[in-house]
A and B are shown apart, each in its own frame.
Chain A
Amino acid sequence: MEDMKSIYLTLVLAPLLGSIIAGLFRNQVGKAGAHWVTIIGVGISFLLSAYVFWQHVMNGAPVFNENLYTWMVVDGLEMHVGFLVDNLTAMMITVVTFVSLMVHIYTIGYMAHEDGYQRFFSYISLFTFSMLMLVMSNNFLQLFFGWEAVGLVSYLLIGFYFKKETAIFANMKAFLVNRVGDFGFILGIAAVAMYFNSLDYAQVFGAAPDKAGETISIWGDSQWSLMTVICILLFIGAMGKSAQMPLHVWLPDSMEGPTPISALIHAATMVTAGIFMVARMSPLFELSETALSFVLIIGATTAFFMGLIGIVQNDIKRVVAYSTLSQLGYMVAALGASAYAAGLFHLMTHAFFKALLFLAAGSVIIGMHHDQDIRNMGGLRKYMKITWITALLGSLALIGFPGFSGFFSKDAIIEAVGYSQIAGSSYAHWLLVAGVFVTALYSFRMYFLVFHGKGPRDDHAKEHLKESPAVVTVPLILLAIPSVFVGWFAIEPMLFGDFFKGVLHVASAHDTLGEIGKTYTDQIGFISHGVMMLPFWLAMAGLAVAWYVYLMKPSIAQSVRSRFDWLYKLLDRKYGFDEFNQAVFAGGSLFAGKFLWNIGDKTVIDGIAVNGSARSVGVLAQVVRWVQSGYLYHYAIAMILGLLGLLFWFVVR
């Protein structure tokens, strides 16, 4: 055990050390030093993670759950920093460090000519450290530490180009919207602390079944199920981090950051922290069907409606960003249907193919000299062979083409939701099924517009188009491999085997994956079952429509757009969330601030109370000064008047 402990520690601290060296000694180590030191750090981390994965998943190493040091013990509440390493952790750290390593290498090429090279490497290594702390935590507090730390790095990286007004607006927006989620999250943690008097996962999960029937009153006499309140509060945190409606607004704007971090943070890892968190807390969520319904409905709504927006986006990164929102919705919906394993499975496959798609998009952006408008592209397959092939593989995985990793994970989610019996499950099921068509449509619209047809539009761009260097393409290839194959190998152990045994808890009444498992034979069987179902045909239809409309007859797109102008406008304005938030929340806060300051502080408190009493002191002083005139007869009259008054008082009394 002690050996493993030092391995866990090393794999967490290696990226932190790299980050510190690259950040604080940026001038001393130089550009090459910065990328070497961080890549070595994350490389070590990845190798050790792979070893941990091997030990836990293949060799059945016992679950590690130990505290490292005591953060604080106060009032009977113990708070520690510690690690919990089981199969879920092992999977997460392997995915995180692998994608992070790919992104580190890729960054050498992508950021080669940018200012702040060392700073960038320092940030992404710091991010890796924070993310590892988050997924390896054995308690709620450290989870929140990691949670906010990844948010901080995300803030720093979205605003990496700090001269750009849009970038520094986007990063503030991202942080604040996430803080709305954290607001719920911290109340959830407070509720856990109050009712379990512990923040340790094992203790809380162990005691949870006893609390299932407890109720609390929040407003008046109405009683709420304790578990529902806790789970919904915690899930609000997940809605912020995993960008679920209506807290999704920050993610599209986060594309202001450099592309490598869009791949790492805003697609593969950080945004999936919410999914990880809910899965980790399955022993709590299983106790509240209301909370599960809430999760399911939010997830499915996000999956469908955010996908729709992807169809009308023209910025290559924003298309992928809306795709990410939609896919996160799928994962969340899986959680709501108690198919936690399917959500995590999709988290993993998505991490690979979405990181791949983002990095491929980045490669395209390099080739196009930072033009991100897909309408200006086209025919890129002739110039960028590796980028083209890998992007095609990523897109096929995304739309769930049979055999590709995304097929297994997405089909499992849709089927599981289909089996779900909780409130809202049929609504969610239909949205998710329809979402498949939408996914295929926006994915292949982008794919065809970028890689096929005539183009690029600009002759100058055409002349300079060439494949990106090897530091960019090698990560693409390395990500393409799991994007294609990981589903095939992982579906059986993760969904129907005992990969997550003892980690995820599913009440027998909610066991949707168990229902699928009854008919599951092997991968081939799953595929042949899948191709007879509606989602597969919808995906093919989406692909075909994209091909016909955007490649063969672009005029159709135009006429549809003018025909359904209201819909186009609605999607183009992203349903008006940004305008609403800007007007109501931002505007409302500023109005409240001005009102309270001008009326409350300046007019009432200072104006009337303070300066008012100062004035009355002044008036009093005037009176006193008038009385104390220095003339003897004044004093004499005053004394006589006083005596008279005294006499009068004695008499009348």
Chain B
Amino acid sequence: MSADWPILSAVIWLPVLGGLLVAFSGDKAPNVSRWLALVVSVLTFLLSLLLYTGFDMNTAAMQFQENIPWIESFQVNYHLGVDGISMPLIILTTFITILVVIAGWQVIQYKPSQYMAAFLIMEGVMVGVFSALDAMLFYVFWEAMLIPMFLIIGIWGGPNRVYATIKFFLYTFLGSVFMLVALIYMYFQSGSMSILDFHTLKLGLTEQILIFLAFLAAFAVKVPMWPVHTWLPDAHVEAPTGGSVILAAIMLKIGGYGFLRFSLPITPDASKELDWLIIAMSLIAVVYIGFVALVQQDMKKLIAYSSIAHMGFVTLGFFIAFIILAKPDVDSGVILGMQGGMVQMVSHGFISAAMFLCVGVLYDRMHSREIADYGGVVNTMPWFAAFMVFFAMANAGLPGTSGFVGEFMVIVASFKADFWFAFLAATTLIVGAAYTLWMVKRVVFGDIANDNVAALQDINKREALVLTSLAIAVLVLGLWPEPLVQVMDASITNLVNHIAVPKL
């Protein structure tokens, strides 16, 4: 199905152009640029909803495709399209961006127009990453996405931002280079830059393994997976609230998306060969990182580590596929695991955004992220406390919130692969609750710890609006995940059928 008019291009370029406009509007009348940014982000979100309403759930084929030649001599096309895997992530992106714009409304007083512009441009580029069907286009968006993020951390970040930015840059750049080499190699093999052509490209096992590892370098850093995760806590700590939100809610998802769009379909045999590696890294992320999160003193670091642990479920859900497929007596579970990983990504988008926004609310008032500086916040900020406890529970995977759905699906699926996978993954029920609730206990509950806490003001209407939107999203997805699962079903099923057939 192709649209009558290029919706995807509109969703990509409206925020980019809007962002440029906002940047040029300057800081003389900051409210103008803020309102402009809000209008652009809301329009983009509404546009992106057309992708849902017009979506055909019965096909795994790419929809809303646009394909025009770009660099003809290298067969590079401006080829866009979405399926059930990328479409939910695009809507997540456009939704979260609105909240980031609203959340930065008053907090950002330094160059507000450029701040808003950076987020809008980043939004468009991230949508580009999710919808690109041409490898070169994908790579361009992939790299372009980093520039606004560097600027956001580098300009509006904390005192140690240079170290964090360089670490972030080194990690992601190293990963991307390997990916680029793999993409160029496949271009020479297939004579095409189309990602869909790569899916059907015949590759030997050694080639596949090398390509797989190259992709792994890029995606594992993004997710991030243990042991290439250490940039994330630093980046989060230094990033402004909005940056953390985008980083956690969307950028990490690009890594998970990469596994589904590239690694699994292009190199299924290598994925099968090396699934033990990914599963081990995922389970280590769940368990090891859970314990590390427990001892964090800085709220943002704690949530960053919690993100890594939660993303472990995503990669676990994706890569248990081959173990289940190899079991003759188990006839289901592969789709469940992949769907679970996807649901976990969307859910984590909401919950991690909410958690970082909660920390942002506190940071704006106290200018501290140290848990020890707080205590008894509930006494002065009862509504905030209600939100914080709610999102903490969602983070701990309470049923009825979205945090439960993905974890549950992945645990059930991994039980089909191996009892001990499920056993280790399920420890998050205890450890995840422990680090989240211990933080809540120390920050939110208790008697008023000091004069600063005593002087706190409860959330204003704008903050309440942002947190309420996320709370509704978390609840709806938790109580009724069926619509999301349905959207993804055809594409995931197709992917599973594809990887079940060896390419060799």
Contacts and interface: CB of A to CB of B under 8 A. Distances in A.
Interface in A589-647: 589-590, 592-594, 596-597, 600-601, 605-606, 609-610, 613-614
B288 A600 contact: yes
Contact of A179 (B167, B405, B433, B444): B433
A613 B231 CA distance: 14
Q: Is the interface of B mostly helix, strand, loop or mixed?
A: helix
B364 interface: no
A163 B379 contact: yes
A600 B227 CA distance: 9
A589 B447 contact: no
Contact of B334 (A75, A186, A597): A75
Contacts of B413: 75
Given A165-B446, A168-B441, A72 B230 contact: no
Contacts of A605: 227, 230
Contact of A218 (B166, B376, B419, B481): B419
B467 interface: no
A521 to B, nearest CB: 47
Interface in A34-93: 69-77
Interface of A: 69-77, 144-145, 147-149, 152, 156, 159, 162-163, 165, 168-169, 172, 175-176, 179-180, 182-183, 186-187, 189-191, 193-194, 197, 216, 218, 589-590, 592-594, 596-597, 600-601, 605-606, 609-610, 613-614
A197 B330 CA distance: 10
Contacts of B412: 77, 189-190, 193-194
Given A74-B409, A194-B333, A610-B171, 4 more contacts: A71-B481, A75-B334, A179-B434, A187-B411
Nearest to B389: A156
Contact of A75 (B336, B433, B434, B482): B336
6 contacts: A74-B335, A193-B415, A590-B294, A592-B291, A600-B227, A614-B170
A72 B409 CA distance: 10
Contact of B415 (A70, A148, A152, A194): A194
B269 to A, nearest CB: 23
A76 B227 CA distance: 35
A187 B426 contact: yes
A218 B334 CA distance: 20
Given A190-B415, A589-B434, A179 B429 contact: yes
A76 B332 contact: yes
B473 interface: no
B441 A169 contact: yes
Contacts of B296: 597
A610 B234 CA distance: 13
Nearest to B486: A73
A610 B228 CA distance: 9
Interface in B437-482: 437-438, 441, 444-447, 479-482
Contacts of A76: 332
Contacts of B485: 72-74
Given A152-B393, A162-B446, A175-B437, A194 B416 contact: yes
A118 to B, nearest CB: 11
A183 B295 contact: no
B402 to A, nearest CB: 12
B400 A148 contact: yes
B408 interface: yes
B438 A172 contact: yes
A292 to B, nearest CB: 22
How many B residues touch the partner, as a band?
35 or more
Interface string B334-367: 1110010000000000000000000000000000
Contacts of A610: 167, 170-171, 230
Question: Which of A70, A75, A182, A197 has the most chain B CB atoms closer than 10 A to its own CB?
Answer: A75
Contact of A593 (B167, B294, B330): B294
Interface string B163-188: 00011001100000000000000000
Interface in B286-303: 288, 291-296
A76 to B, nearest CB: 5
A589 B288 CA distance: 10
A587 B334 CA distance: 38
A216 B415 CA distance: 12
Nearest to A144: B399
B480 A69 contact: yes
B431 A589 contact: yes
Contact of A71 (B332, B420, B422, B482): B482
B501 interface: no
A601 B482 contact: no
Given A191-B415, A194-B412, A163 B295 contact: no
A593 B399 contact: no
Contacts, number: 142
Contacts of A593: 291-295
B190 interface: no
B430 A179 contact: yes
B398 interface: yes
Contact of B427 (A156, A183, A613): A183
A563 to B, nearest CB: 42
B437 A176 contact: yes
B294 A75 contact: no
Contacts of B332: 75-77, 197
B441 A72 contact: no
A590 B489 CA distance: 41
A589 B336 CA distance: 31
Given A74-B409, A145-B400, A194-B333, A182 B429 contact: yes
B399 A596 contact: no
B423 interface: yes
A152 B288 contact: no
Contacts of A168: 441, 445-446
B378 interface: yes
A187 to B, nearest CB: 6
A176 B393 CA distance: 12
A597 B296 CA distance: 9
A597 B233 CA distance: 12
Given A70-B482, A186-B426, A77 B336 contact: yes
Given A193-B415, A594-B295, A183 B429 contact: yes
A147 B400 CA distance: 11
Contacts of B447: 163, 165
Contacts of B482: 70-73
A191 B418 CA distance: 11
Contacts of B416: 194
Nearest 9 interchain pairs by C-beta: A593-B295, A190-B415, A75-B335, A593-B291, A75-B336, A593-B294, A168-B445, A163-B447, A145-B399
B294 A589 contact: yes
Contacts of A182: 429
A148 B433 CA distance: 12
A193 B330 CA distance: 12
Interface in B209-241: 227, 230
Contacts of B399: 144-145, 147-149
B214 to A, nearest CB: 18
Contacts of B294: 589-590, 593
A148 B396 CA distance: 11
Nearest to A607: B230
Given A168-B446, A186-B408, A74 B339 contact: yes
A590 B295 contact: yes
A208 to B, nearest CB: 18
Contacts of A190: 411-412, 415, 422, 426
Contacts of B429: 179, 182-183, 186
Contacts of B431: 589
A566 B227 CA distance: 51
Given A186-B426, A593-B292, A596-B288, A162 B230 contact: no
Nearest to B340: A74
A359 to B, nearest CB: 27
Contacts of A176: 430, 433-434, 437
A194 B445 CA distance: 40
A74 B410 CA distance: 12
